[in-house]
Structure 1
């Protein structure tokens, strides 16, 4: 298929474009800044840009990964988030329907599942999050606009028969977290693979699978498989390090040798089981892979780049 990939200059786009080509798809990249996978420079908020992309390139399917993200809140207005994340999604959906498409993959985020109460760590137990979690109360304009875009995908699937797969991806960015202060960098990313992270390579593979298997309208949480169960939720909140050590007895030693530490508390768990059941997708890299690298002294199985600059930041900085 000839696939329009939005966000092609971003972190995901640079991995997803070659994955799509490897399995035989032709990729047309669209982004607001240049990139190796980008053929069209422009904004999805501009309907004329979208229409020209479809008309000039014979687009047959869309993977919509372009968006303003949570860190962009400091640089862009709420209206910009609505223009890009909501209107941009509407433009793509309308163009896809007009072109007679039968599939559309939308990159969403687990961030929209996090209410302020969850963010503040309220409650005596960790929260188990899957596609049935609700009611959803996003805590910022990023989550609100992503949830609205999901609603548009649902509407177009119902009214036009467009097969839409919405992928609520957990964290896969390479830079440092901008809110967590006590654990940083590689240490944080390693522990997050237990409950709220996946690699960018696995994220790309999930999109390829969803493109091929999208049926009707479905929402999927995409995250590394967690070793935990619902029975662990109370203890994960109060004494996560002990729970982790039960599942992975050598984790404390391996972490200490690296100068890392295990988290004292885990407040949320993302359950990616639906994607495995319906799509046959299971992320390849998990916490066990991290421990394997630590044992063998081989490179860590995830990317960490504190100096990474996103396309939206590059645009904002001129």
Structure 2
């Protein structure tokens, strides 16, 4: 598969201004000829994250919707795209509960639009063997595990429990179908919970960090015993690059960090780190801000990933242990207030109030 790496020149990265996408762009851009980022620049896409790359002649940031078939087809033709790395998605479970339509549109219709444009472009170019369409998905498509269940593997049946995970499951099925029906050279990766720099503050770790700095309550759903496998975003990016360079078309790989942690334990660790690393907190110790709130509907109890396939076949391993990665992440948010403070807009404040404001503490 080394030929794939050498022939890959023009890469379209959808959602490249978002959390995982922007981290991938920053780690990958110098290794290839041209990078084209297509991002709708909604609330979760931040142009400032990639501002230092925009002056480079082999980097293009295009504001647009993946559902815009004319735009997508134009980009394929103009830049002679040979590789797509598809991050773009609506991804927050709470938002999918209050507004599922946007998730179906972006995650299902958007993925279909990209696949059709890529298929037509690939066929027009003579179906080159080195073309790739890598679809980035989630462990949430597999549903929920009990404490004693074995981890999800690539053979685990899909059982999504939220509009978000159902829409991602639908997009996964489309990608698989395009490989089996049309021979389109697709790849699928399913990752566990990511953490690290540039994550929008609606997600657990940045939300807790920022609320501690602002002296706001730390809302923990239910009893806080929900378990997730945590994957540092840099490890995720290295795994995606490995799959792109080494995997055969049609393959699917689970990507995880081998870090299963209860939500309440993460919140308490963040409180301890913020107490240690931040001066003059509005409330100290920060643990006094922890507030248990009623659980969200359909809240999966546990996720865990069996990553033996990617370890065995592609020789990939996560490099971050959770304690080190979490400390580095807290330090990043403490030293990058100029990045996250503009995100606390009126729209975000209204969303936050609608989600947590009416919840009765337990």
Does structure 1 residue 2 correspond to structure 2 residue 10? yes
Distance 1:72 1:31 in 2: 22
**Which position in structure 1 is the counterpart of 2:75?**
53
**Which position in structure 2 is the counterpart of 1:131?**
154
- 8 A contact 1:164–1:214 mirrored in 2: no
TM-score by length of 1: 0.70
**Which position in structure 2 is the counterpart of 1:155?**
177
TM-score by length of 2: 0.62
**Which position in structure 2 is the counterpart of 1:114?**
143
Which of 255, 270, 288 pairs up with 1:222? 255
SS state of the match for residue 20, structure 1? helix
CA shift, 1:127, in A, is 4.4
Which of 261, 265, 284 pairs up with 2:319? 284
Distance 1:211 1:124 in 2: 33
SS state of the match for residue 300, structure 1? helix
Deviations 1:208-264 (A, max 9, x none): 1122123121221111135x9xxxxxxx99xxx9xxxxxxxxx9xx99x97999xxx
CA shift, 1:29, in A, is 0.2
Task: Give the unaligned 5+ runs of structure 2.
Answer: 1-8, 54-59, 123-127, 208-218, 277-284, 288-300, 335-339, 352-362
Matches within 5 A, 1:157-236: 157-173=179-195, 174=199, 175=201, 176-177=203-204, 180-181=220-221, 196-225=229-258
CA shift, 1:125, in A, is 2.2
Distance 1:76 1:46 in 2: 25
Distance 1:224 1:80 in 2: 29
Distance 2:223 2:18 in 1: 26
Does structure 1 residue 23 correspond to structure 2 residue 56? no
Query: How many pairs were matched up?
Result: 266
Deviations 1:1-50 (A, max 9, x none): 20000001101122111222232342100001262266111110121121
CA shift, 1:156, in A, is 1.0
SS state of the match for residue 198, structure 1? strand
CA shift, 1:147, in A, is 0.7
**Which position in structure 2 is the counterpart of 1:103?**
132
Q: CA RMSD in A?
A: 3.9
- 8 A contact 2:246–2:314 mirrored in 1: yes
CA shift, 1:82, in A, is 1.6
**Which position in structure 1 is the counterpart of 2:95?**
73
- 8 A contact 1:6–1:31 mirrored in 2: yes
**Which position in structure 2 is the counterpart of 1:300?**
327
CA shift, 1:56, in A, is 2.1
- 8 A contact 2:77–2:121 mirrored in 1: no
Does structure 1 residue 14 correspond to structure 2 residue 22? yes
Task: Give the unaligned 5+ runs of structure 1.
Answer: 229-235, 242-250
The range that moved more, 39-48 or 12-21, is: 12-21
Structure 1 segments of 4+ aligned residues over 6 angstroms from their partners: 257-261
- 8 A contact 1:103–1:214 mirrored in 2: no
Does structure 1 residue 272 correspond to structure 2 residue 280? no
Distance 2:318 2:32 in 1: 21
- 8 A contact 2:14–2:85 mirrored in 1: yes
